[in-house]
Amino acid sequence: MRFAWNWCTAEKTEGVRLEWLAPAKAQLARAEQAARRADAVIAFVGLSPDVEGEALQISVPGFDGGDRTDIALPSAQRRLLRRVAAGGSRWWWC
């Protein structure tokens, strides 16, 4: 899985930001294989300001513009968690 590690040291924007690409079929298969080989899996999932915010005008299931229409995780993340869980390793999600 690809991710970008951005570190910022400016006064008001100090912090760490972890970004990732939505899992495509090949990425899901790789995650599933890695989960099968692992002793344990910790999955960090959730929303980012890129999909949630009143001023946003996005077209994503579960959202109306930038507002949530339900409190479920996005479908791609639920699919990822199901496939990781099917691998048989102990797992947690945060």
The domain ranges of the chain are 23-93
Q: What is the pTM of this model?
A: 0.58
Say how far residue 81 (Cα) sits from the centre of its chain: 10
Structure tokens at 68: 């949530």
Cβ 33 vs Cβ 84: under 8 Å: no
pLDDT tens, position by position, 27-67: 888 888 888 888 888 888 887 766 666 666 777 777 777 77
Residue 23 in this model has a pLDDT that exceeds 70: no
- Measure Cα distances from 65 to 53, 58, 68 in Å: 8, 5, 8
More confident residue, 27 or 9: 27
